[in-house]
Amino acid sequence: MKRRFVLVAWTCILSILNMGCYSAALIDPAGPERDDVYTGKIKGVVTKDGTKYDFDAPAQIVSNVIVGSVKIPMSPGYTLKEVRIPLSEVERVQVSQFSAGNTVLLVVALGAIVGLIYAAMLADAEKDAFESIEKAVDGL
Protein backbone atom coordinates (compact mmCIF):
# COMPACT_ATOMS: atom_id res chain seq x y z
CA MET A 1 0.00 0.00 0.00
CA LYS A 2 1.30 3.45 -0.81
CA ARG A 3 2.86 5.33 2.08
CA ARG A 4 0.83 8.45 1.29
CA PHE A 5 -2.46 6.52 1.57
CA VAL A 6 -1.44 5.07 4.94
CA LEU A 7 -0.56 8.56 6.21
CA VAL A 8 -3.97 9.92 5.12
CA ALA A 9 -5.77 6.96 6.72
CA TRP A 10 -4.00 7.43 10.07
CA THR A 11 -4.69 11.17 9.98
CA CYS A 12 -8.41 10.45 9.46
CA ILE A 13 -8.50 7.85 12.24
CA LEU A 14 -6.76 10.11 14.75
CA SER A 15 -8.99 13.06 13.83
CA ILE A 16 -12.12 10.98 14.31
CA LEU A 17 -10.93 9.54 17.62
CA ASN A 18 -10.36 13.11 18.81
CA MET A 19 -14.13 13.69 18.47
CA GLY A 20 -14.82 11.17 21.20
CA CYS A 21 -18.16 10.17 22.63
CA TYR A 22 -18.55 13.24 24.81
CA SER A 23 -19.51 16.83 24.12
CA ALA A 24 -19.41 19.99 26.20
CA ALA A 25 -22.58 21.73 27.35
CA LEU A 26 -23.07 25.05 29.14
CA ILE A 27 -25.60 24.68 31.92
CA ASP A 28 -27.38 27.20 34.12
CA PRO A 29 -26.82 25.85 37.64
CA ALA A 30 -30.15 27.35 38.77
CA GLY A 31 -32.10 26.16 35.71
CA PRO A 32 -33.87 22.91 34.85
CA GLU A 33 -30.55 21.19 33.95
CA ARG A 34 -29.05 21.82 37.39
CA ASP A 35 -28.82 18.09 38.19
CA ASP A 36 -26.30 17.75 35.34
CA VAL A 37 -23.98 20.09 37.24
CA TYR A 38 -23.76 17.54 40.05
CA THR A 39 -23.50 14.44 37.86
CA GLY A 40 -21.41 15.82 34.99
CA LYS A 41 -17.72 16.48 34.91
CA ILE A 42 -17.20 20.20 35.39
CA LYS A 43 -14.76 21.46 32.76
CA GLY A 44 -15.26 25.20 33.19
CA VAL A 45 -17.25 27.96 34.85
CA VAL A 46 -18.43 31.44 33.88
CA THR A 47 -19.16 33.65 36.87
CA LYS A 48 -21.84 36.35 37.04
CA ASP A 49 -19.15 39.04 36.62
CA GLY A 50 -18.04 37.38 33.34
CA THR A 51 -14.86 35.72 34.56
CA LYS A 52 -14.19 32.39 32.82
CA TYR A 53 -12.35 29.52 34.50
CA ASP A 54 -11.14 26.47 32.53
CA PHE A 55 -10.20 23.67 34.89
CA ASP A 56 -7.11 21.56 34.34
CA ALA A 57 -8.92 18.45 35.60
CA PRO A 58 -12.67 18.12 36.18
CA ALA A 59 -13.78 20.19 39.18
CA GLN A 60 -16.03 18.95 41.97
CA ILE A 61 -18.83 20.50 44.02
CA VAL A 62 -18.13 20.50 47.75
CA SER A 63 -20.75 22.12 50.03
CA ASN A 64 -22.21 24.35 47.25
CA VAL A 65 -18.72 25.47 46.18
CA ILE A 66 -17.04 24.45 42.92
CA VAL A 67 -13.47 23.41 43.70
CA GLY A 68 -10.94 22.91 40.92
CA SER A 69 -7.47 23.72 39.63
CA VAL A 70 -6.69 26.24 36.90
CA LYS A 71 -3.43 26.73 35.02
CA ILE A 72 -1.58 29.97 35.72
CA PRO A 73 0.96 30.81 32.97
CA MET A 74 4.52 31.28 34.17
CA SER A 75 7.84 31.55 32.43
CA PRO A 76 8.55 28.76 31.47
CA GLY A 77 5.39 26.66 31.62
CA TYR A 78 2.61 27.04 34.15
CA THR A 79 1.59 26.34 37.72
CA LEU A 80 -1.72 25.05 39.09
CA LYS A 81 -3.81 27.12 41.47
CA GLU A 82 -6.84 25.82 43.37
CA VAL A 83 -9.93 28.01 43.03
CA ARG A 84 -13.15 27.90 45.05
CA ILE A 85 -16.24 29.45 43.48
CA PRO A 86 -19.56 29.53 45.37
CA LEU A 87 -22.46 28.29 43.24
CA SER A 88 -24.28 31.55 44.01
CA GLU A 89 -21.64 33.42 41.94
CA VAL A 90 -21.83 31.04 38.95
CA GLU A 91 -23.69 32.05 35.78
CA ARG A 92 -22.90 28.97 33.64
CA VAL A 93 -21.15 25.65 34.15
CA GLN A 94 -19.49 23.76 31.31
CA VAL A 95 -19.86 20.01 31.79
CA SER A 96 -18.81 17.02 29.74
CA GLN A 97 -21.81 14.89 28.72
CA PHE A 98 -22.16 11.60 26.87
CA SER A 99 -23.35 12.18 23.30
CA ALA A 100 -25.04 9.29 21.49
CA GLY A 101 -24.81 11.19 18.19
CA ASN A 102 -21.04 11.63 18.50
CA THR A 103 -20.64 7.95 19.39
CA VAL A 104 -22.67 6.75 16.38
CA LEU A 105 -20.76 9.10 14.07
CA LEU A 106 -17.46 7.86 15.49
CA VAL A 107 -18.34 4.19 14.93
CA VAL A 108 -19.64 4.80 11.38
CA ALA A 109 -16.61 6.89 10.40
CA LEU A 110 -14.12 4.36 11.78
CA GLY A 111 -15.97 1.55 9.98
CA ALA A 112 -15.81 3.48 6.71
CA ILE A 113 -12.10 4.15 7.07
CA VAL A 114 -11.34 0.51 7.89
CA GLY A 115 -13.43 -0.53 4.87
CA LEU A 116 -11.53 1.86 2.59
CA ILE A 117 -8.19 0.61 3.87
CA TYR A 118 -9.28 -2.99 3.28
CA ALA A 119 -10.48 -2.15 -0.25
CA ALA A 120 -7.17 -0.41 -1.01
CA MET A 121 -5.23 -3.44 0.26
CA LEU A 122 -7.30 -5.75 -1.97
CA ALA A 123 -6.74 -3.47 -4.96
CA ASP A 124 -2.97 -3.48 -4.32
CA ALA A 125 -2.95 -7.29 -4.01
CA GLU A 126 -4.94 -7.63 -7.24
CA LYS A 127 -2.60 -5.25 -9.05
CA ASP A 128 0.45 -7.19 -7.83
CA ALA A 129 -1.14 -10.47 -8.97
CA PHE A 130 -1.80 -9.08 -12.47
CA GLU A 131 1.77 -7.73 -12.70
CA SER A 132 3.13 -11.17 -11.72
CA ILE A 133 0.99 -12.86 -14.38
CA GLU A 134 2.10 -10.35 -17.02
CA LYS A 135 5.78 -10.97 -16.17
CA ALA A 136 5.22 -14.71 -16.32
CA VAL A 137 3.47 -14.42 -19.72
CA ASP A 138 6.18 -12.10 -21.07
CA GLY A 139 8.82 -14.62 -19.96
CA LEU A 140 7.26 -17.36 -22.10
Domain boundaries, the chain: 1-21+99-140, 22-98
Are 22 and 98 a contacting pair, CB within 8 Å? Answer: yes
SS3 78: strand
Distance CA 42, CA 38 (A): 8
Supply the mean pLDDT for the chain.
77
CB atoms within 10 A of CB 90: 21
Instruction: Please state which of the ranges 23-37, 61-75, 95-109, 117-131 shows the lowest mean pLDDT.
Output: 23-37
pLDDT tens-place string over residues 28-49: 777 776 666 666 688 888 999 9
Burial of 128 (0-12, 13-18, 19+ CB in 10 A): exposed
Q: What is the pLDDT of residue 126?
A: 73
Average pLDDT over residues 62-85: 87
pLDDT exceeds 80 at position 84? yes
Average pLDDT over residues 85-107: 79
Find, among 86, 83, 81, the residue nearest to 48 by Cα: 86
